[in-house]
Structure 1
Amino acid sequence: MKTLHKLITLCFLVGYGVISHAQCEHDVSTDPNNSHNDQLPDLQTSGPPYSQDQRYLNGLDWWTPNSYSLDNMMYNPTQPYTTMSNIQSYNQNISDYQYLRKDLGGEYVHPDNGWELMLANLGRYPDNVTIHNNVDLTSIPYLGFYNRYTGVFRLFFQYGYNEPPVDAVDGVKVVLEYKSSSASGILRLAKGTDRTLDKGTVATKLFAVAPPAGQINFWKSVDFQLTYDPCVCYYPSQLSIDFEFFSVTDFKLYGRSISIEQDLIDANGNVVNADFLSGIDVSNGSDMDGGYVMYKTMGDLVDDYISSYQAYKDELDAVNQYNEDLEKKLVILKAFKDLVVNGTSAALTAATGMPWFGALEQFAGEVIGKDSIDLDPLVEQAKEAISKEATTFINKFKTKKEPTKPSMPTASFTEMQFSGTMSDYTPVNGPTFFTPGSFMNNDDPNNTLNDLQNAPHGYPVYNSGVGVFALLESPKVDFSSSSPELINQISYPSNPNGTIYFNEDLRTYQMKLSEPLKYTLNPALDIESYTMECSYRITVKRNSILDAMEWSDAYIDAANPFVYSAHYRQYIQAFNHVGATANVVSDSMGTSAYDIIDRHMITSSTPFSAAEQALWKAGEPILDRDCVIVFNSLSVPVDAFNTLVPSMGVETQYAYYNSSSYADPSVPAVDGLQYTLQAVELKVQLHIVYESYDTDGYKNEGTYVFTYPVDPNDIAYLNDTEIVPDIGGSSSDIDASPENLTFTDTYFDGSAIDGCVLNGSTYTCQCWNNLTIDGDITVANGYNVFMLAGNEVYQVNNSQVAPEVVVDIQPILDYSSPTPEATTSYVESFCAGNSPNGTAYQANLSKNHFDRVNDEEDTLPIDQPEYLAFNLYPNPTSSSVAIGFVCSTGEDLHISLLDMTGKTLSTKQISAAYLTEGVNVNELDLMDLSSGYYFVVLKSGNLTKTEKLVIQK
Structure 2
Amino acid sequence: MGWLGGLAQPAGPCPATGISTDPTQPINSVRPDRRNTFFNWWNPATPPPYDNRVYQLYSVSPRTGQGRAYFEYTPYQQPDNLETVFLSGSADLPANGWELLAYNLGYTEQGQPRPAGAPLPYVVLYHRFTGLLRVFATVAEPQQAYTYHYLTLRFAAGQGLTTKSGLLNRVAAPATALLDAPAGLGAVLTGVGRHLNQAGKWFVADFPLEYDPCTCLFRSELEIDVMAMNPTMLNLPRVTATGPIAGLLLSPYGAENVQDSGSMRGFPMLGYQGQTPGSLLTTGYYDVAAASQQRQRLNWLQATTHDPALAMSLDSAAWFWLRASSADQRTGSRNFLSPAFLQDPRTERFLNGLDYLTVGGLSTNLPGTGVVPAQQPNAYAQTGSRVKGFSQPTDTLGIIRLATPGAVTAPAVSRYPYYNEVLGVLSLLRRPTVQRQVTTVRDADGHSRLRYRFRLPADLAYALNPAAGLVVTDFRAALVVAGSSYPATLPPGDFATYEAPLPLSDDPAGPVQHLVRTAYVSAGCLPDQVFTLDGPTDCDGFLPAGPVSVKVWVQLRRPDAPDAQPVLLVASYPTTVEDTNDPLPAAPSLPTACTRLLPPQPAAAITTLCASPAYREAMRSDRAVVAEAAATIAVLASAVLAYPNPTTGPSPSNWRYPPLAACGSDYSTR
Q: 1:851 to 1:147 in 2, by over 3 A?
A: farther
SS at match of 1:187: helix
1:33 equivalent to 2:24? Answer yes
After superposition, residues 565-714 of structure 1 pair within 5 angstroms as: 574-575=490-491, 577-578=493-494, 588-589=496-497, 628-653=513-538, 675=543, 677-693=545-561, 698-711=563-576
CA contact (8 A) 2:459 2:524 kept: no
TM-score normalized with structure 2 length? 0.60
CA contact (8 A) 2:459 2:527 kept: yes
CA shift for structure 1 position 633: 1.4
Partner in structure 1 of residue 228 of structure 2: 245
SS at match of 1:186: helix
After superposition, residues 866-877 of structure 1 pair within 5 angstroms as: none
AA matched with 2:482: T
> Which residue, out of 195, 200, 207, partners 2:176?
195
Q: 1:250 to 1:171 in 2, by over 3 A?
A: closer
After superposition, residues 728-739 of structure 1 pair within 5 angstroms as: none
1:844 equivalent to 2:619? Answer yes
Q: 1:223 to 1:448 in 2, by over 3 A?
A: same
Percent identical across equivalent pairs? 20
Distance 2:222 2:610 in 1: 20
CA contact (8 A) 1:574 1:650 kept: no
CA shift for structure 1 position 514: 1.4
1:61 equivalent to 2:61? Answer no
Partner in structure 1 of residue 129 of structure 2: 149
> Which residue, out of 119, 123, 135, partners 1:139?
119
> Which residue, out of 70, 88, 96, partners 1:113?
96
CA offsets 1:569-617 (integer angstroms, 9 cap, x no match): x998642534xxxxxxxx755899xxxxxxxxxxxxxxxxxxxxxxxxx
CA offsets 1:204-259 (integer angstroms, 9 cap, x no match): 311011223574333111111112111111121011111111123479xxxxxxxx
After superposition, residues 325-474 of structure 1 pair within 5 angstroms as: 424-440=393-409, 447-449=410-412, 452=413, 456=414, 458-474=415-431
> Which residue, out of 577, 584, 587, partners 1:723?
584
CA shift for structure 1 position 117: 0.7
SS at match of 1:575: coil
CA shift for structure 1 position 526: 2.3
CA contact (8 A) 1:541 1:629 kept: yes
Q: Which consecutive residues of structure 2, in runs of 5 or more, have no partner in the other structure?
A: 44-51, 235-389, 501-509, 634-641, 645-670
SS at match of 2:217: coil
Partner in structure 2 of residue 740 of structure 1: none
Partner in structure 1 of residue 463 of structure 2: 520
1:223 equivalent to 2:206? Answer yes
> Which residue, out of 481, 495, 500, partners 1:538?
481
CA shift for structure 1 position 124: 3.0
Distance 2:515 2:438 in 1: 15
AA matched with 1:831: C
Distance 1:213 1:178 in 2: 28
CA offsets 1:321-342 (integer angstroms, 9 cap, x no match): xxxxxxxxxxxxxxxxxxxxxx
Distance 1:464 1:723 in 2: 44
Larger radius of gyration: 1
TM-score normalized with structure 1 length? 0.43
1:98 equivalent to 2:85? Answer yes
Partner in structure 1 of residue 612 of structure 2: 833
Partner in structure 2 of residue 497 of structure 1: none
SS at match of 1:464: coil
CA shift for structure 1 position 485: 4.6
Distance 2:180 2:391 in 1: 39
CA shift for structure 1 position 515: 1.5
CA contact (8 A) 1:187 1:226 kept: yes
1:171 equivalent to 2:148? Answer yes
CA contact (8 A) 1:149 1:701 kept: no
CA contact (8 A) 1:185 1:844 kept: yes
Q: 1:200 to 1:33 in 2, by over 3 A?
A: same
Q: 1:675 to 1:423 in 2, by over 3 A?
A: closer
CA shift for structure 1 position 98: 2.1
Distance 1:470 1:422 in 2: 32
Q: Which consecutive residues of structure 1, in runs of 5 or more, have no partner in the other structure?
A: 41-51, 252-420, 441-446, 490-503, 543-569, 579-586, 593-624, 656-672, 735-767, 769-789, 791-810, 860-953
CA contact (8 A) 1:710 1:853 kept: no
Distance 1:537 1:205 in 2: 29
Q: 1:676 to 1:149 in 2, by over 3 A?
A: closer
CA offsets 1:811-846 (integer angstroms, 9 cap, x no match): 1xx45x763211111111111227xxxx64654235
Distance 2:150 2:572 in 1: 27
Distance 1:571 1:111 in 2: 47
Distance 2:39 2:601 in 1: 37
Aligned residue pairs, count: 456
Partner in structure 2 of residue 83 of structure 1: 71
SS at match of 1:473: coil
Q: 1:675 to 1:238 in 2, by over 3 A?
A: same
After superposition, residues 293-312 of structure 1 pair within 5 angstroms as: none
Q: 1:23 to 1:516 in 2, by over 3 A?
A: closer
Distance 2:519 2:391 in 1: 50
CA contact (8 A) 1:28 1:35 kept: yes
Partner in structure 1 of residue 296 of structure 2: none
AA matched with 1:429: G
Distance 2:481 2:512 in 1: 14
CA contact (8 A) 1:153 1:224 kept: yes
CA contact (8 A) 2:475 2:597 kept: no
AA matched with 2:58: D
CA shift for structure 1 position 35: 0.8
Q: 1:91 to 1:57 in 2, by over 3 A?
A: closer
SS at match of 1:642: helix
AA matched with 1:98: V
AA matched with 2:571: F
Q: 1:689 to 1:95 in 2, by over 3 A?
A: same
Q: 1:122 to 1:193 in 2, by over 3 A?
A: same
CA shift for structure 1 position 640: 1.9
CA contact (8 A) 1:710 1:852 kept: no
Q: 1:654 to 1:590 in 2, by over 3 A?
A: closer
AA matched with 1:33: T
Distance 2:98 2:632 in 1: 39
Partner in structure 2 of residue 820 of structure 1: 599
1:129 equivalent to 2:129? Answer no
CA contact (8 A) 1:2 1:529 kept: no
CA shift for structure 1 position 699: 0.9
CA offsets 1:499-518 (integer angstroms, 9 cap, x no match): xxxxx531111111112221
SS at match of 1:109: coil
SS at match of 2:394: strand
Q: 1:3 to 1:700 in 2, by over 3 A?
A: closer
CA shift for structure 1 position 143: 0.5
Partner in structure 2 of residue 505 of structure 1: 448
Distance 1:700 1:486 in 2: 49
SS at match of 2:178: coil
Distance 1:198 1:424 in 2: 35
Distance 1:29 1:487 in 2: 65
Distance 2:629 2:479 in 1: 15
Distance 2:205 2:570 in 1: 22
CA contact (8 A) 2:13 2:606 kept: no
Q: 1:829 to 1:129 in 2, by over 3 A?
A: same
Distance 1:151 1:129 in 2: 30
CA shift for structure 1 position 191: 5.3
Distance 2:168 2:101 in 1: 16
Q: 1:130 to 1:841 in 2, by over 3 A?
A: same
AA matched with 2:408: F
SS at match of 2:215: coil
CA contact (8 A) 1:465 1:524 kept: yes
